[in-house]
C-alpha cells in the first residue's frame, strides 16, 4: 500500500481539542485527517510556502467543511517562519518534507520551538526513489538520518512504524 495519511496520523495519538501544525501541508491530506480527529474544539495549522498549494488546501478545507483548519503561508525552513507562537501546539506533522528542504535543521528547530512540552512529532518520508516513483536518490533522507536529526535537536525517539510500501514513519516527543 502507498502511504496513507489516515493510518499514519493514527500513530500520533491525537485527541479531541489538540492543536496541530502540518508542516509543508502540500495537498492537505494530513491536515484534513488531523482535523477530523481533533474535532471542532481543536485546530490544525496547515502551513506551506507555495501560494498555489495554500489556495488549494483552503478550497479543500471548505469543500470538506473542515472549519478547524487554518491554512497559512509560511516558511518552515526559517526560525519563526511558521508564524506560530512558542510552545503553542501539541503535535507537528512533517510528512514528505525532509527530502524537499535544504534547511533540515531549521525545520526541526522550528518544530521544537512551537511544540508544547512533551509535544509529539510525526515524521513520514521516502525509503528510496523506487526507480523514479519517489524523489531522486540523492535527496532522500534515510530513516537513520531523520532519527539523528531529531535526536540532536532535543527530541526523544518513541517508535517507528510502517508508513506504507515506499515510506518510513517515526514518532518523537519533545524532551
Inform me whether the pLDDT recorded for 1 exceeds 70: no
Rg, the chain, Cα only: 15
Share of the chain above pLDDT 90, in %: 89
Inform me whether the pLDDT recorded for 13 exceeds 80: yes
Is residue 76 within 8 A of residue 50, CB to CB? The reply is no
Is residue 84 within 8 A of residue 109, CB to CB? The reply is no
Residue with cell 509529539: 120
pLDDT, tens digit, 9 for 90 and up, residues 47-56: 999 999 999 9
Q: What is the pLDDT of residue 131?
A: 62
pLDDT, tens digit, 9 for 90 and up, residues 121-150: 999 999 886 666 777 778 889 999 999 999
Between CA 14 and CA 129 the distance in angstroms is 30
Is residue 74 within 8 A of residue 83, CB to CB? The reply is yes
- Average pLDDT of every residue of the chain: 95
Share of the chain above pLDDT 70, in %: 97
Is residue 132 within 8 A of residue 120, CB to CB? The reply is no
CATH architecture of 5-174: 3-Layer(aba) Sandwich (3.40)
The average pLDDT across 149-170 equals 96
Inform me whether the pLDDT recorded for 80 exceeds 60: yes
Q: What is the pLDDT of residue 44?
A: 99
Amino acid at each position: 500500500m502507498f502511504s496513507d495519511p489516515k493510518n499514519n496520523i493514527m500513530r500520533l495519538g491525537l485527541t479531541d481539542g489538540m492543536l496541530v501544525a502540518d508542516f509543508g501541508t502540500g495537498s492537505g491530506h494530513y491536515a484534513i485527517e488531523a482535523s477530523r480527529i481533533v474535532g471542532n474544539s481543536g485546530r490544525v495549522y496547515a502551513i506551506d510556502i507555495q501560494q498555489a498549494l495554500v489556495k488549494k488546501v483552503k478550497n479543500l478545507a471548505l469543500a470538506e467543511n473542515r472549519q478547524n483548519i487554518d491554512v497559512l503561508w509560511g516558511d518552515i525552513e526559517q526560525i519563526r517562519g511558521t508564524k506560530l507562537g512558542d510552545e503553542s501546539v501539541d503535535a507537528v506533522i512533517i510528512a514528505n518534507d525532509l527530502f524537499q528542504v535544504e534547511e533540515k535543521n531549521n525545520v526541526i528547530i522550528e518544530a521544537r520551538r512551537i511544540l508544547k512540552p512533551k509535544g509529539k512529532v510525526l515524521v513520514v518520508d521516502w525509503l528510496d526513489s523506487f526507480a523514479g516513483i519517489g524523489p531522486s536518490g540523492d535527496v532522500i533522507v534515510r530513516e537513520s538520518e531523520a532519527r539523528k536529526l531529531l535526536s540532536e535537536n532535543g527530541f526523544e525517539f518513541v517508535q517507528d512504524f510502517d508508513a506504507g510500501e515506499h515510506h518510513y514513519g517515526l514518532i518523537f516527543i519533545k524532551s
